[in-house]
Structure 1
Amino acid sequence: MFSPPLALASLSGESDTEWAMAGREWAGAAFLGGIALDEPAREAARILVARDRSEFLPNDPVAFVDDQLAALEDEPIQAAINVRAASADALPPVARICRERDAFLEINAHCRQPELCAVGCGETLLADTERLRSYVDTATEHGATVGVKVRAAVDDVNLPTLCRTLERADASFVHVDAMDSEAVIADIAGACELYVIANNGVRDEATVREYLEYGADAVSVGRPSDNPVVLERVRQALERWQQTRSP
């Protein structure tokens, strides 16, 4: 899906084109965002900013997405955008931009901030399978390559079962924050044919090998995604892993 199989994971208010360009030497994909698309999600983001969190709050989020993806269109890195929305109705314009810019659209079912959950964004989507499926259906209907960012260790959420549902809705990938439950990657990889990106604690050879041995197709780096030392170490670990698998 992208090569090398190292992604830069979105960091709210930080992951923009400049950030992606800085990591393109090592990474095969960059997930920009997250971007709040509709008014309930944007109001939640404003409250987060008021309590000193970083968030992207452009006047026109759809135009912002287009500008960001356009800047990466000819760069040697797969562009992707992580989005938050309180309703699937907000997705079609961004899905069409992703189709036109050959970028991935990642639906955020991951963020756990109370303000976002209160309006139906982020982690609340994990427990509402049909609503999350409607997000994927809506985005794929408009031609985007769609995936979902999810979180492990959420009460009453069975990620392998959820991923089978996402696959039936024509999702292409799942981006899993393993939350110190690394073995969940094996459960997901064994349950579906989605491209599995493993996230959480990816820093070195040991963490890379653990996720790949569990069946991940790729890994992603979050907080240290602006640290060239970490990115180079992870890239080298991936290259060594691939060499051991070459005939």
Structure 2
Amino acid sequence: MFAPRVAVASLSGESDADWARAAAPYVGAAFLGGVAIDETAQEAAKELVARDRSEFITDDPTGFIAEQLAELEATDGPDIFAAVNVRATTGDPIGDVAAVCADHGAGIEINAHCRQDELCAVGCGETLLRDTDRLVEYVETARAEGARVGVKVRTEVDGVSLPGLAKALADAGADWIHIDAMDSEAVVADVVVAAPELFVIANNGVRDRKTVHEYLEYGADAVSVGRPSDNPAVLQRVRTATDGWFAKRNEESVSDDDREATV
């Protein structure tokens, strides 16, 4: 879906076009946002700002997203895949944002990840993990607009089977799943088995060779960097580790093919 197999992950109120541009020399993808795209979600975001969290607050979320994607498109430098992480309490605005993303060759990522009380109270974030029908509806709505679509999820949510959810998302037409693995890294392997058609991006604690290789050994297709995504030293370290892992895997695959050819 993108190369190199490193992404920078959305950080609410911080991950804009300038942030993505700064990371572009090290990554193949940037997930802008998260952006609350309906009035109820925006009101919840304002409550977060009132307790000193950074959020994108705008009267025109769809216009804001279009501006950010246009700004990123106009940037000189390496081409990267851009997607916008969005929070929504209903499916109504998903189609509008997805259409904008499709126009810019970008993707839309449904946020089923954030766990702040203010967001969960209005049906955003991780509450979607327990509402498969609504999450599937969001994916199908975005897909109908021609956008590439993924979902950001988290592990360790009581009563939620991520492998089962991943299969439902794949059936709905999702292209990727972005997993915040918390302390349950092995879930990545279960998701890969359950929904092999999804591109799996692993997130949480990605900092160095050890953390990169752990996720890739579990079968992740790529890794993403969250909090230190504005740190070039971390991004370079992660990029080097990721490139090295895939180069070694490709060498081993070629060697296996050569051995089979001589049998």
User: Which runs of 5 or more structure 1 residues have no equivalent in the other structure?
Assistant: none
1:186 lines up with 2:189 in the alignment: yes
Q: 4+ residue runs of structure 1 moved beyond 4 angstroms?
A: none
The alignment partner of 2:233 has SS state of helix
**Map of 1:4 onto structure 2:** 4
1:190-216 superposed Cα distances (whole Å, 9 cap, x missing partner):
111200000000000011111000000
Q: Which amino acid aligns with 1:170?
A: G
**Map of 2:249 onto structure 1:** 245
1:93-126 superposed Cα distances (whole Å, 9 cap, x missing partner):
1110111101010000000001000110000000
Aligned to 2:202, which of 190, 198, 202?
198
1:156 lines up with 2:168 in the alignment: no
**Map of 1:91 onto structure 2:** 94
The alignment partner of 1:161 has SS state of helix
d(CA) in 1 for partners of 2:239 and 2:245? 10
User: How far is 1:74 from its partner?
Assistant: 5.0
Paired positions, count: 247
d(CA) in 2 for partners of 1:242 and 1:151? 25
The alignment partner of 2:157 has SS state of coil
Q: Percent identity?
A: 63
**Map of 2:31 onto structure 1:** 31
Q: What root-mean-square deviation, in Å, do the aligned CA atoms of Structure 1 and Structure 2 show?
A: 0.8
The alignment partner of 1:67 has SS state of helix
The alignment partner of 1:55 has SS state of coil
d(CA) in 2 for partners of 1:73 and 1:123? 31
**Map of 2:224 onto structure 1:** 220
1:118-173 superposed Cα distances (whole Å, 9 cap, x missing partner):
11000000001111111101111111100000000100000000000000100000
1:235 lines up with 2:239 in the alignment: yes
d(CA) in 1 for partners of 2:70 and 2:249? 36
**Map of 1:42 onto structure 2:** 42
User: Which runs of 5 or more structure 2 residues have no equivalent in the other structure?
Assistant: 255-263
Q: How does 1:34-183 map to 2 (within 5 A)?
A: 34-73=34-73, 75=75, 76-183=79-186
Q: Which amino acid aligns with 2:30?
A: A
Equivalent pair of 1:112/1:123 in contact (CA under 8 Å): yes
With the length of structure 1 as denominator, give the TM-score of the two structures: 0.99
Q: Which amino acid aligns with 1:224?
A: P
Equivalent pair of 1:73/1:79 in contact (CA under 8 Å): no
**Map of 2:260 onto structure 1:** none
